[in-house]
Structure 1
């Protein structure tokens, strides 16, 4: 069985849409590789949309707008046309229901920067952007729930769909240093080194994602929410759910034979926000 790769992208602050960075360069490279290998579509879980109660939702708005973002000139994103994939959205709903989820469409949802920031960076020419489906989180932020979401959608990889989690390795807005960005529009200023809690949790994320495969990866990813520095690194759980979604998508027993996670790029922002980028698998296996 051959599978499309899966990406875990830490999207960072809104300024990652407007400023050059190592992470942005890798997003573009990942987009180029997807196009070169005939990607069928993108299925993405972001970090800014969660459904209440026991529900999970899939975006079914045929003409979504884009929520405006701060500190980025509108020319960077306002005129970029989105390409929602309604047929695949309905397939995702059916796959989720088949796996026991209370799932449904949301035909009024407008896209937020955690998803379209990545899309624009991956495919700066909108004419090349593959059809895209957005999956919500669930507002209870249960780690096992979100692993199961990724597992339920894993079969799409066999058809050439690219699954992406857009969240953050270390993402605690309350513990960032905002002054250089607010005063000088410099989100990459590192007046001081990152604090020890940020470095510790960042390393824990890399260790889990690069040293585990298959079901062991799923178990290790969920355990990260019990790490001693987890709450320092994630004051809220929303940006960590992408990690669990990805672990579900690449954590089947069959995935033990696939290429494991690779740290492909990294960008620190606002002193303590670590935007680590990970890729699991590769397109060469699909082509073979």
Structure 2
């Protein structure tokens, strides 16, 4: 057993994150300094959906370019981290003990929700990585329970990294990266920050009913669901801490949070 790592949630924004400068890139490049180097990384990405949830057992996960229309420079990047099939077996076992079915995908690679932040935070790609899907037709409570089941991994040197977006309405996207964030984006973002700071987990799980402009910021749930996995993985008496706050394209909160057990 080692001192447990926190569970992390980051907002990954647009796929061109690795080739942009600015606050978010600087934050991600410095994130590794805030806790010990993991033995392995489990990414829960908003961009892999399945029913039931799945975990990849790829030995050498490919870099997936699940986007189009970006600079050719982006398609030249790759993230050649090796996989860790034995972690996939451990995940299936942990989820099964909690009555949560999970299938293994033998070859699934890393989508941009996984590799675009990792190429900034761990550019050497020297930590084995696997990826877990979300079941986006299921609710935040279910994904919180998934996180709870996976909490022992934090004590085994595994970084659980939820990757999505605190806000995500593509219809409000502004082509100007530095556009002033919309009022309703800021109001929702501040509600999330306040709710996490206060530890009001029931309110957070019921965000769609309680948060201002919830459906406007999240026409669908998938980009917020990895947050609840990270929350659940934080453990008993979990505390949340904001690691970063900024905005992009007028519609995206790029906030990031850490979750770990309190004393």
TM-score with structure 2 setting the length: 0.90
Match of 1:194 in 2: 181
Match of 2:194 among 190, 200, 207: 207
Aligned to 1:26: 27
Shift of 1:23: 1.9
Provide the secondary structure at the position in 2 that maps to 1:238: coil
Give per-residue Cα distances to partners, 1:152-186, cap 9 Å, x unaligned: 000111122211110111111111123x3xxxxxx
Distance 1:149 1:267 in 2: 28
Partner of 1:222: 205
Distance 1:251 1:281 in 2: 6
* 1:262 maps onto 2:241 in alignment: yes
1:54-76 alpha-carbon deviations (Å, 9 max, x no partner): x1100112233222244244467
Q: Distance in 2 between matches of 1:270 and 1:121?
A: 20
TM-fit CA distance, 1:121: 0.9
Is 2:251 the partner of 1:272? yes
May I ask how many residue pairs the two structures share in their alignment? 258
Q: Secondary structure at the match of 2:131?
A: strand
Instruction: Identify the residue that residue 98 of structure 2 maps to in structure 1.
Output: 99
Alpha-carbon shift at residue 206 of structure 1 (Å): 0.5
* Pairing of 1:148-187 with structure 2 (within 5 A): 148-178=145-175, 180=176
Q: State the distance in 1 between where 2:140 and 2:23 align.
A: 29
SS in 1 for 2:185: helix
Are the structure 2 counterparts of residues 38 and 196 from structure 1 closer, same or farther at C-alpha, using a change threshold of 3 Å? closer
Aligned pairs (5 A) from 1:60-71? 60-68=57-65, 69-70=67-68, 71=70
Please give the alpha-carbon distance, in whole angstroms, between the structure 2 residues aligned to 1:18 and 1:211.
Answer: 35
Give unpaired runs (5+ residues) of structure 2. none
In 2: Cα distance, 1:118 partner to 1:106 partner: 22
Task: Report the CA distance between 1:252 and its aligned residue.
Answer: 2.0
Residue segments in structure 1 that go unaligned for 5+ positions in a row: 181-187
Taking structure 1 as reference, are residues 84 and 74 closer, same or farther at Cα in structure 2, changes over 3 Å only? Answer: farther
Deviation at 1:281, TM superposition (A): 4.2
**What residue number does 2:135 align with?**
138
Q: Deviations over 1:165-211 (max 9, x none)?
A: 10111111111123x3xxxxxxx231xx3222111100011012222
Pairing of 1:6-17 with structure 2 (within 5 A):
6-17=7-18
RMSD: 2.1
- In 1, the alpha carbon distance for the partners of 2:84 and 2:63 equals 16
Structure in which a larger fraction of residues adopt helix: 1
Counterparts of 1:101 and 1:26, CA distance in 2: 34
Matches within 5 A, 1:44-83: 44-52=43-51, 55-68=52-65, 69-70=67-68, 71-74=70-73, 78-83=77-82
CA–CA separation in structure 1 for the residues paired with 2:228 and 2:146: 9
Is the contact between residue 24 and residue 246 of structure 2 (CA under 8 Å) also seen in structure 1?
Answer: yes
Q: Is the 8 A contact 1:168 1:275 kept in 2?
A: yes
